[in-house]
């Protein structure tokens, strides 16, 4: 745990609580502080204690925000970078620093990477999946680009809660899996709700002429879940932990194939 009392002199700070894991961001630029406060408004916490800290140094020159992300471990520190940012994080002290261009997309990507790395240690993961809460239960809708995550999210009934249309946050608490909302939006450009619920089932999405749910054997379910996990590091120990987590998830959570036609009736099958 890291106390806010160690914040550098005159720094502005916000705590972003995604997936029950609050991360404190510290910076000295008031305009950027306001930008991030607005960007993550639904996920801000007033708690003065965070589980990780990132100091933000703004580069003067704007850079492109696409390109490949590189993640590696250097002397026990996690190092991740792209054309528009470079970050280093100490997993022991849980304090890091990011130098980035003046845009919210760099820190957004860095937060995804950091949460993905921290989740591995707890038996959780980030999954390419839409997710929603209905009747107190969370459902995951997993697939790569074009599988239908945005479509099924756009069809969500009014009484259900959208957690995300793109990156699902899956954590393990007390031996069960919990899905949490995230501000990591996809094509729907709609931030998820800051809510959570136990995962009832995971669906592998496929588009078709009619709505139906089919069983999936354990081997295929594990393979598909692993393929859709968002993780960048190549550290063998972490990869093994992630593999074990995916296997445990498939053992505990029903994984089925959901073939659907894009109309509201598909949600009648999600109970």
Report which of residues 230 and 185 the model is more confident about: 230
Domain ranges for the chain, please list them: 2-120, 125-269
Mean pLDDT for the stretch of residues 11-31: 95
Predicted local distance difference test score (pLDDT) of residue 1:
36
Query: Other C-beta atoms within 10 Å of 239: how many?
Result: 14
**Which alpha helices (DSSP H) does the chain contain, by range?**
30-39, 104-120, 149-154, 218-228, 236-252
Query: Residue 131 phi/psi, 5° resolution?
Result: -150, 155
At residue 51, does pLDDT exceed 60?
Answer: yes
pLDDT in tens, 162-179: 999 989 999 999 999 999
Position 60 scores a pLDDT of: 60
pLDDT in the model for residue 235: 83
Q: Read off the pLDDT band of 6 (50, 70, 90).
A: very low
Q: State yes or no: pLDDT of 89 exceeds 80.
A: yes
Please provide the average confidence, as pLDDT, over all residues in the chain: 89
21-27/167-173 β-pairing: unpaired
pTM as predicted: 0.89
Instruction: Report residue 12's pLDDT band, with 50, 70 and 90 as the boundaries.
Output: very high
CA distances from 243 to 74, 114, 231 (A): 23, 18, 11
pLDDT at 3 over 60: no
Q: What is the pLDDT of residues 106-146, one digit of tens each?
A: 999 999 999 999 999 899 999 999 999 999 999 999 987 78
Taking 60 as the threshold, does the pLDDT of residue 93 lie above it?
A: yes
- On whether the 125-269 domain is CATH 3.40.50, my answer is yes
């Amino acid at each position: 745990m890291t106390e806010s009392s160690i914040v550098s002199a005159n720094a502005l700070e916000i705590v972003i609580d995604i997936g029950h894991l609050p991360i404190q961001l510290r910076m000295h630029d008031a305009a950027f502080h306001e930008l991030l406060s607005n960007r993550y408004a639904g996920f801000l916490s007033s708690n003065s204690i965070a589980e990780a800290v990132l100091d933000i140094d703004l580069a003067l020159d704007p850079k492109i925000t696409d390109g490949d992300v590189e993640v590696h471990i250097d002397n026990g520190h996690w190092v991740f970078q792209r054309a528009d940012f470079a970050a280093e994080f100490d997993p022991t002290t849980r304090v890091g620093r990011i130098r980035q261009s003046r845009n919210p997309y760099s820190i957004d990507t860095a937060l995804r990477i950091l949460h993905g790395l921290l989740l591995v240690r707890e038996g959780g993961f980030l999954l390419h999946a839409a997710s929603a809460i209905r009747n107190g239960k969370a459902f995951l809708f997993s697939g790569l680009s074009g599988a239908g995550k945005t479509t099924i999210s756009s069809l969500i009934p009014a009484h259900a809660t959208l957690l995300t249309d793109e990156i699902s946050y899956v954590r393990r608490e007390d031996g069960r899996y919990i899905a949490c909302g995230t501000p990591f939006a996809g094509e729907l450009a709609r931030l998820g709700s800051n809510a959570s619920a136990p995962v009832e089932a995971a669906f592998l999405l496929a588009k078709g002429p009619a709505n139906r749910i089919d069983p999936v054997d354990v081997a295929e379910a594990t393979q598909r879940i692993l393929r859709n996990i968002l993780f960048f590091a190549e550290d063998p120990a972490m990869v093994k932990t992630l593999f074990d987590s995916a296997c445990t998830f498939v053992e505990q959570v029903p994984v089925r194939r959901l073939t659907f036609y894009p109309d509201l009736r598909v949600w009648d099958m999600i109970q």
